[in-house]
């Protein structure tokens, strides 16, 4: 490859050894320097979709088409990661620098699972991603009062909440407006209607993602096929058809409380700095729960997640 000046962009998708960098409105097929593969854990140091990179731009000798060599990766402001199935404390980075993660759940069929939602919120907070709660299938919720009431707890914590329906179109314009000019991802449990929402927000995108899912084996997804799709509204939306786990990574019993926004006013008032808000005396969070200043249901979600986490190494 004939190399010229250093340019910058972000990785739009990865296919095998090829990293496609979006530079302005142009896609540049790039390779990666071998030094990224050197280290204790090359999988964590390799470029991923969403990374802001610098690359040495040039032209491919055999075709004359613009090409490049990625030479550096910028700091990651957020990470979307999946924990390993065999070792919970290991994780694989799937995407970086997302502005928003849309957590898609359904009001009915299947019923809204707040425990799962709380777990996904923790994962988003752990990855430094701003979550937006998206409750689909509101057309199946006769009055909407029960769902709206359940979401009020999250609104009070300054989480964005969109009540929508892919069937009757409510909330679709609001979702598209939030995605405009941003890099986003949609994730949620099976049956929540992510594919239908995708088709309403960006006609044809549901079919394209579905085709990738079929090729990779009934939804099984790898970093090789992960990509950000450009939207007509001006943003980019992440492709996540096969992500069945929304893992919690790099958290311990002593740090989990920081991922619960409703604990924030009280965490600093606990007697012990290392308080896990579970059994310690003088815990201000437990007192707040007893005084109904923190939702009992949210606290129970916290305890459920807590039992699966390790202690902070001394």
Same domain flag for 41 and 184: no
pTM reported for the whole predicted model:
0.86
Please check whether residues 89 and 125 belong to one and the same domain. yes
Q: Please indicate, yes or no, if residue 314 is contained in any of the structural domains.
A: no
Judge if 167 and 223 occupy the same domain: yes
pLDDT digits (tens, 9 = 90+) for 133-186: 999 999 999 889 999 999 999 999 999 999 999 999 999 999 999 999 999 999
Residues 123 and 210 in one domain: yes
Strands 236-238 and 228-230: antiparallel
Burial class (CB in 10 A: 0-12, 13-18, 19+), 85: exposed
- State pLDDT tens for residues 251-288: 999 999 999 999 999 999 999 999 999 999 999 999 99
Query: How many residues in the chain?
Result: 314
CA atoms of 136 and 111, how far apart (whole Å): 11
Give the number of domains in the chain: 3
Same domain flag for 89 and 184 = yes
Residue 35: band (very low, low, confident or very high) from pLDDT cuts 50, 70, 90: confident
Specify whether 166 is located in the same domain as 301: no
Comparing 1 with 99, the larger pLDDT belongs to: 99
Task: Write out the residue range of the structural domain in which residue 219 sits.
Answer: 79-238
Residue 150 maps to a domain: yes
What's residue 282's pLDDT?
97
Shared-domain flag, residues 158 and 97:
yes
- Residue 312 falls inside a structural domain: no
Whether residue 109 is predicted with pLDDT greater than 90 in this model: the reply is yes
| Residue that wins the pLDDT comparison between 160 and 244 | 160
Q: Which two tokens stand for residue 27?
A: 């896609």
Overall average pLDDT of the 295-304 stretch: 97
For the stretch 111-131, pLDDT in tens is: 999 999 999 999 999 999 999
Dist. CA 69–CA 19, nearest whole Å: 9
Indicate whether 217 belongs to any domain: yes
Domain boundary among 179, 212, 238: 238
Whether the Cβ atoms of residue 44 and residue 7 lie closer than 8 Å to each other: no
Q: Is residue 222, in this structure, part of any structural domain at all?
A: yes
Residues 90 and 232 in one domain: yes
State the pLDDT at residue 224: 40
Q: What is the mean pLDDT of the chain?
A: 86
Q: Does the structure show a pLDDT above 70 at 102?
A: yes
CATH (domain of 14): 2.40.50.140
Categorize the per-residue pLDDT at 297 as very low, low, confident or very high, splitting at 50, 70 and 90. very high
Does any domain span residue 251? no
Is the same domain home to 40 and 153? Answer: no
The answer, yes or no, to whether residue 217 has pLDDT greater than 50, is: no
CATH number at residue 268: 1.10.40.50
Place of tokens 């991923």: 48
CA distances from 164 to 69, 140, 172, 180 (A): 43, 11, 7, 17
Q: Are residues 185 and 109 in the same domain?
A: yes
Q: Residue 231 belongs to a domain with what CATH number?
A: 3.40.50.300
**Mean of pLDDT values over 235-249:** 69
Residue 26: burial class (beta carbons within 10 Å; 0-12, 13-18, 19+): exposed
Same domain? 219 vs 87: yes
Q: What percent of the chain has pLDDT over 90?
A: 64
Q: Which residue has the higher pLDDT, 27 or 211?
A: 27
Q: Is the pLDDT of residue 221 over 50?
A: no
> Which of left, alpha, beta for 24 (phi over 0: left; psi -120 to 50: alpha)?
left
Q: What percent of the chain has pLDDT over 70?
A: 82
Q: Is residue 194 part of a domain?
A: yes
Q: What pLDDT score does 177 carry?
A: 96
Mean pLDDT over 81-89 rounds to 59
Q: Same domain, yes or no, for 108 and 202?
A: yes
Among residues 48, 73, 98, which one ends one of the domains? 73
Among residues 238, 269, 289, the one where a domain terminates is: 238
**Domain assignment present for 244:** no
Query: Are residues 298 and 262 in contact, defined by beta-carbon separation less than 8 angstroms?
Result: yes
What pLDDT score was predicted for residue 85?
52
291 versus 206: which is more confidently predicted? 291
Which pLDDT score is estimated for 240? 62
Q: What confidence category does residue 16 fall into, taking pLDDT thresholds of 50, 70 and 90?
A: confident
Q: What angle do CA 270, 273, 274 make, to 5 degrees?
A: 110
**Do the strands 52-59 and 66-73 form a parallel or antiparallel pair, or are they unpaired?**
antiparallel
């Amino acid at each position: 490859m004939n190399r010229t000046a250093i340019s910058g962009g972000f990785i739009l998708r990865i296919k095998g050894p090829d990293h496609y960098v979006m530079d302005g409105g142009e896609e540049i097929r790039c390779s990666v320097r071998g030094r990224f593969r050197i280290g204790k854990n090359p999988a964590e140091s390799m470029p991923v979709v969403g990374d802001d990179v610098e690359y040495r731009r040039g032209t491919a000798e055999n075709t004359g088409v613009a090409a490049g060599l990625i030479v550096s990766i910028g700091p990651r402001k957020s990470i979307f990661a999946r924990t390993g199935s065999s070792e919970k404390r290991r994780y694989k980075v799937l995407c970086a620098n997302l502005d928003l993660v849309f957590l898609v759940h359904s009001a009915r069929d299947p019923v809204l699972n707040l425990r799962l939602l709380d777990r996904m919120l923790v994962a988003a907070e752990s990855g430094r991603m701003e979550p937006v709660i998206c409750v689909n299938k509101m057309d199946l919720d006769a009055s909407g009062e029960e769902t709206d009431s359940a979401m009020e707890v999250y609104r009070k914590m300054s989480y964005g909440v969109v009540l929508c329906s892919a069937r009757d179109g409510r909330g679709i314009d609001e979702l598209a407006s939030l995605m405009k000019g941003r890099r986003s991802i949609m994730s949620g449990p099976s049956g929540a209607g992510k594919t239908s929402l995708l088709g309403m927000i960006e006609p044809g995108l549901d079919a394209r993602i579905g085709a990738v899912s079929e090729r990779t084996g009934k939804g099984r997804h790898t970093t090789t096929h992960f990509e950000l799709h450009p939207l007509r509204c001006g943003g980019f939306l992440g492709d996540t058809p096969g992500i069945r786990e929304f893992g919690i990574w790099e958290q311990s019993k002593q740090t989990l409380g920081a991922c619960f926004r409703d604990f924030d006013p009280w965490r600093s008032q606990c007697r012990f700095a290392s308080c896990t808000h579970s059994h310690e005396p003088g815990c201000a969070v437990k007192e707040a729960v007893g005084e109904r200043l923190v939702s009992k249901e949210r606290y129970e979600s916290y305890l459920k997640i807590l039992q699966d986490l390790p202690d902070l190494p001394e």
